[in-house]
Amino acid sequence: MFQPEQIHEFIVQTCQALGSEPREAELVADQLVAANLAGHDSHGVGMLPSYVDGVVNGRLAVNSHPTVVVDGGSLLTLDGNAGYGQVNGYEAMSMGMERAADNGVAVVGLRNSYHIGRIGHWAEQCAAGGFASLHLVNVIGHPPLVAAYGGAEARFGTNPFCAAVPGRDGRPGFLLDMATSIIAGGKARVAANKGVKVPPNTIIDVDGNLTDDPNAFWYTDPTGKRGGALVAFGDHKGSGLAVMCELLSAALIGGETAHPKNARDGRIINNMLSVVIDPAATGDTETFYDEIELFRDFVLESRLRSDCDEILVPGQPEEIARAERANGFDVDPVTVDQLRTSARRAGITDEAIGALIGNA
């Protein structure tokens, strides 16, 4: 089991060894560790090896910041310049909250950012500032991951949708953060590393059959083309939402879609469209908070369905995970080995790696 501070320092040192300034390294470590603490291991420390690979191969720009492409007051379009998504996301949401405070609402388009991690992190940043928000995201740069409903070949990314409303304590009153696939690609990676199955019928194998084998998703033919795909949630509904995320979060703001003509040589590029709303501009804030709490209680007081033993509202799973993982969390041995390898690639000595996360 790793202590949060322990793995946080490991990430900071790895990023700094790659050339990141201290603030950038802290932002990357903050978000990755926070994802593990929230129970989303798919977007946690296991992402670090792909970031190291991106920097080493010149695909991920260190010490980069988003630049303003369009400034329309309450509407901003930013270019992430293929820099760390943890920096781009943080600065984009900071600008969005400033504009929402002035105008009541801000629409922020962030295009061409390297992987921006767990999208709920950005909604939580807004909620901590007292703002409601929603976020649509697409994913490009590697082969598509998810098949359109009825199809057997991947055509778009996991294309997350996220929305949150603030609570009185500066935390989300509700937080919905989901991929438009049944499971995220990172969850298939974690399952493959652990040697376990994924939920039934969440992956399509190379022959077009539904399966629970995560390795069927990662299969590639002799030409390097991926044969497997993830399944969109809710049949045509999740597939349709993924398509709208593709077009609204990317094409609308000058970003690129998952069409193969936009291939980016292995970069993990995200585009995100965010709407940030100041509740004080729409009505009485205290009444807003009252209604959130009343509705939450109303939902949770429902009788249970016969095959279920609890009701959880959006955001509760993360609250529970944070309580359970406050003193540490496990990382599977395959991922730990990948972390050691990535740290070596960054230039950290075996002695320093052992002092941070132990020896193999």
Q: List the domains of the chain with CATH numbers.
A: 1-63+330-360 (1.10.1530.10), 65-177+237-324 (3.30.1370.60), 182-231 (3.30.60.50)
Chain Cα centroid distance, residue 219: 23
pTM: 0.92
CA-to-CA dists, residue 140 to 158, 213, 259, 262, 313, angstroms = 10, 24, 9, 8, 31
DSSP 8-state secondary structure symbol assigned to residue 127 = H
Provide the b/e sequence for 279-316 (b: ≥16 CB within 10 Å): beeeeeeeebbeebeeebeeeeeeeeeeeeeeeebbbe
Strand partners, 79: 67, 111
- Confidence (pLDDT) at 260: 87
pLDDT tens digits, the chain, 360 residues: what are they?
A: 899 999 999 999 999 999 999 999 999 999 999 999 999 998 999 999 999 999 999 999 999 999 999 999 999 999 999 999 999 999 999 999 999 999 999 999 999 999 999 999 999 999 999 999 999 999 997 788 999 999 999 999 999 999 999 999 877 799 999 999 999 887 888 888 888 999 999 999 988 999 999 988 876 566 656 678 999 999 999 999 999 999 999 999 999 999 988 876 778 999 999 999 999 999 999 999 999 999 999 999 999 999 999 999 999 999 999 999 999 999 999 999 999 999 999 999 999 999 989 875
- Confidence (pLDDT) at 1: 87
- Confidence (pLDDT) at 25: 98
User: Roughly how many angstroms between the first and final C-alpha of the chain, as a whole number?
Assistant: 14
Chain Cα centroid distance, residue 3: 22
- Confidence (pLDDT) at 225: 62
Strand partners, 154: 147
